[in-house]
């Protein structure tokens, strides 16, 4: 199931960070400025460096745009008189300028400047991407998908490749198995052992044996009258770890019987691997070379590509069916699109809220803090919430097979989200989002829905 040895790296100039030094409240702030890229590469790989580099460029781009917007665009918008008093949020937007004002050309000029700056930043990011240097044994390992479950025998796979490619030597064949439940049980076993060690440390430091109340009642802090009696924590976690260890061994034997019809085939040379991958690129070269067992193993329907790094594979997702994969991806992205379409940008939401009667309800509270900071709070909330929706929806509701693919999907969706949020949807928000909020928040009757 696993192949290759990736314990060695070429970057030995930075030692492995001691992550226990970053434990505690707000310790991540210090970690942001002290952990180096090489340490991150050791811990999470090159993809993490690429993603963080992408975020750095986005932060720099946003800083430049914010400085120019606050220093130039905001005073220009504030000089108009089309949106009521100075405390009105619309007083800071382009709608505050008269339609015949020459100051509108400032927006056109800076829109072009922002576009050029974004192109330069992304081009610079692309030119300075960290390169992945893959050792030769990764290029010699192929990932074969589509093997019939009743024909998952290493001898048949070897026979096919040796007959179809006589000059290619197959050095290893390993099959992939459904280990999703095995990984869950093993992680629970590790958690139980970690909890037992923590309880033993507490007992050594305090001299008092820690206790706990098992089950959900203990997790939510129920009293004796609601939950069960307390038990010795060390004994409880010891029994739990032993039980899970036995369950892991049982599940391991069961997992070895749940072949997924996927195999990692290692050949003798890099050139041989490249030749096989090229032969299975059927859109370019036609049907792949067949052998005497091609009908048995259905080799003409295989998907063959270079195998990813073992640590890069999300093994529990290999068992997800194609139907479930596509349903989850389509559902998640439709939901995201609907959220982005209706909420658009924080500025459009505030502009829409300005036309409703929400201010009267706030003024009746007689709280200057709420009335002054609510717009800012809404801006921060939506600016932080919507990107997180993109990230967490991909992590928890999409079943990508590799972390590289997952990270690239998140980067692409984040980029598309920013384009929608900053350029495309604001031009539609005055029609779609405003109509939605007017319909839900205003007490006027017979509101006309206008969709752009």
User: In the predicted model, is pLDDT for residue 330 greater than 80?
Assistant: yes
User: In the chain, what percentage of residues exceed pLDDT 90?
Assistant: 19
Rounded CA-CA distance 44/42 in Å is: 6
Mean pLDDT of the chain: 78
For residues 207-212, average pLDDT: 84
pLDDT band at residue 67 under the 50/70/90 scheme: very high
Characterize the bridge pairing of strands 259-267 and 211-212. unpaired
Closest CA to 167 of 263, 276, 264, 265: 276
User: In the predicted model, is pLDDT for residue 15 greater than 60?
Assistant: no
Pick left, alpha or beta for residue 306 (phi over 0 → left; psi -120 to 50 → alpha; otherwise beta): beta
Rounded CA-CA distance 418/275 in Å is: 40
- Tell me what pLDDT residue 359 has: 57
Please give the angle made by the CA atoms of 123, 62 and 122, to the nearest 5 degrees: 10
In the numeric block, the tokens 């809220």 are attached to: 353
Top-confidence range, 207-211, 253-257, 421-425: 253-257
Are the beta carbons of 362 and 374 closer than 8 angstroms?
yes
Contacts 24+ apart (CB under 8 A), 125-131: 125/53, 125/54, 125/57, 128/53, 129/50, 129/53, 130/41, 130/46, 130/49, 130/50, 130/53, 131/46
Query: pTM score, two decimals?
Result: 0.63
Are the beta carbons of 190 and 208 closer than 8 angstroms?
no
Between residues 433 and 172, the one the model is more confident about: 172
- pLDDT tens-place string over residues 241-284: 999 999 999 999 998 888 898 999 999 888 888 888 888 887 66
Q: How much is the CA Rg of the chain, to the nearest whole Å?
A: 29
Write the DSSP symbol of residue 248: H
User: In the predicted model, is pLDDT for residue 379 greater than 80?
Assistant: no
In the numeric block, the tokens 């690129």 are attached to: 281
**Could you tell me the two tokens for 431?**
């029609």
Closest CA to 373 of 86, 93, 89, 90: 89
Lowest mean pLDDT of 65-74, 108-117, 338-347, 426-435, name the range: 426-435
What H or E segment, with its residue span, contains residue 166?
none
- Tell me what pLDDT residue 370 has: 54
Lowest mean pLDDT of 376-385, 412-421, 440-449, name the range: 440-449
User: In the predicted model, is pLDDT for residue 101 greater than 80?
Assistant: yes
């Amino acid at each position: 199931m696993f192949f290759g040895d990736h314990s060695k790296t070429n970057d030995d100039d930075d030692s492995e960070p001691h992550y226990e030094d970053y434990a505690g409240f707000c310790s991540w702030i210090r970690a942001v400025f002290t952990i180096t890229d090489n340490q991150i590469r050791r811990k999470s790989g090159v993809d993490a460096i690429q993603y963080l580099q992408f975020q750095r460029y986005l932060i720099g781009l946003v800083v430049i745009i914010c400085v120019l917007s606050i220093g130039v665009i905001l005073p220009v918008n504030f000089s108009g008189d089309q949106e009521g008093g100075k405390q009105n949020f619309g007083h800071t937007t382009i709608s505050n300028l008269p339609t015949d004002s020459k100051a509108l050309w400032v927006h056109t000029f800076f829109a072009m400047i922002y576009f050029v700056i974004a192109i330069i930043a992304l081009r610079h990011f692309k030119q300075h991407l960290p390169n992945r240097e893959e050792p030769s044994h990764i290029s010699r390992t192929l990932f074969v998908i589509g093997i019939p479950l009743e024909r998952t025998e290493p001898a048949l796979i070897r026979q096919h490749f040796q007959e179809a490619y006589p000059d290619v030597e197959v050095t290893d064949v390993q099959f992939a198995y459904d280990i999703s439940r095995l990984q869950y049980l093993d992680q629970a076993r590790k958690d139980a052992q970690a909890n037992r060690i923590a309880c033993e440390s507490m007992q050594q430091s305090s001299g008092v044996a820690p206790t706990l109340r098992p089950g959900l009642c203990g997790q939510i802090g129920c009293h004796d009258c609601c939950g069960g009696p307390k038990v010795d924590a060390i004994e409880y976690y010891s029994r739990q770890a032993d039980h899970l260890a036995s369950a892991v061994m049982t599940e391991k034997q069961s997992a070895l019987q749940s072949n997924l019809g996927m195999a990692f085939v290692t050949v003798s040379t890099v050139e041989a691997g490249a030749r096989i991958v090229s032969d299975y690129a059927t859109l370019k070269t036609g049907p792949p070379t067949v052998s005497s067992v091609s009908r048995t193993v259905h080799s003409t329907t295989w998907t063959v590509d270079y195998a990813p790094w073992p640590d890069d594979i999300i093994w529990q997702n290999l068992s997800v069916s194609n139907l479930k994969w596509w349903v989850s991806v389509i559902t998640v992205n439709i939901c995201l699109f609907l959220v982005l379409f209706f909420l658009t940008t924080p500025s459009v939401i505030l502009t829409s809220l300005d036309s409703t009667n929400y201010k009267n309800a706030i003024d009746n509270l007689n709280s200057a803090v709420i009335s002054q900071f609510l717009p800012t709070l809404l801006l921060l909330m939506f600016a932080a919430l919507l990107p997180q929706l993109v990230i967490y929806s991909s992590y928890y509701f999409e079943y990508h097979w590799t972390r590289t693919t997952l990270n690239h999907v998140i980067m692409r969706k984040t980029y598309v989200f920013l384009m929608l949020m900053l350029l495309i949807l604001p031009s539609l928000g005055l029609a779609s989002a405003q109509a939605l909020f007017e319909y839900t928040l205003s007490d006027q009757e017979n509101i006309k829905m206008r969709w752009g």
